[in-house]
Amino acid sequence: MIGIMFALQKESQPVMDAIKFNKEERVGRLIFHEGQLSGVDVVVVVTGVGKVLAAGATAILIDKYRPDLIISAGVAGGLGVSRIFETVIASDLAQHDFDTTAIGEAKGLLPLLNAINIHTSEVAKNAILSVLPNLKVGTVVSGDKFVAKAEESLALVNDFNAVACDMECAAIGHIAALENTDVIAVKVISDGADINAAVSFEQSLAKGSAMICDMLLETLQVINNALKMSKQ
Ligand code: ADE
């Protein structure tokens, strides 16, 4: 089974419309929607915004479903040369707001993982690229901040060599890595993480979410087959 996580209901809507539902399971405030997407068994959950809510939902998702892969999906702010409506696959993930530099640690060094960058699934990445070879691959950073200033975006490029920023995927990746669960993030750029970001985000959310859904429908079977092959 593949777990698919979105921050916002709106981001998840095209997938919720496309899924062939089997059942819904409620755990506290979270609803886990089980079903098939392109014939692949999936469980879809909307986490809410930010690293804390994403991490909490990830822990429950892993505990309850033991997914073969978690896909963090949705929209993200574009950094550097990333353009609106470009699709990005995360080569790795980092938390730009995790900062223990005052006690001598490297910026972004994550507790328990003892690394700055969280690896994403090579199998999933290569499977997606085998179907859609032109997608951008690069570091996606997360933090509890909607980035809307050019100088802050520039710092994320300089410090992390990041191509996109969101508020969840590196928290999902952090928990997944600690629980030995494969993870990937697929993101459509909704804004330039600059002064126009809020307006652009609102304007791009529906189309970006539809693009993510189409991309999942196109690639899920190939991802699932590649995961099965890699475990043989
Ligand atoms: N998600 C979409 N756009 C974003 C931005 N500019 N900052 C953080 N998360 C985002």
Residue 213: which CATH number? 3.40.50.1580
Q: Are 165 and 96 in contact (CB under 8 A)?
A: yes
Does some domain include residue 30?
yes
Does some domain include residue 123?
yes
Does some domain include residue 231?
no
- Largest distance between two CA atoms of the chain: 50
pLDDT value for 71: 98
Beta-carbon count within 10 A of 107 CB? 15
What is the DSSP-derived secondary structure letter of residue 7?
S
Mutate to test the pocket of ligand 1, among 140, 156, 167, 209 (most ligand atoms within 8 A of CB): 167
Q: Each residue of 119-142: pLDDT tens digit? A: 999 999 999 999 999 999 999 999
Does some domain include residue 36?
yes
pTM: 0.98
Q: Each residue of 166-175: pLDDT tens digit? A: 999 999 999 9
Does some domain include residue 160?
yes
Residue bearing tokens 């709106």: 10
Does some domain include residue 232?
no
Does some domain include residue 227?
no
Which residue range forms the structural domain that includes residue 59? 2-222
Q: How many domains does the chain have?
A: 1
Does some domain include residue 22?
yes
Compute the distance from residue 133 Cα to the ligand 1 centre, in Å. 25
Q: Are 52 and 45 in contact (CB under 8 A)?
A: no
Q: Where are the beta strands (DSSP E) in the chain?
A: 2-6, 20-27, 30-37, 40-46, 69-78, 87-95, 118-119, 136-142, 162-166, 183-191
Determine the Cα–Cα distance for residues 78 and 205; give it in Å rounded to an integer: 13
Q: How confident is the model at residue 96 (pLDDT cuts 50, 70, 90)?
A: very high
Q: Is 191 in the pocket of ligand 1 (CB under 6 A)?
A: yes
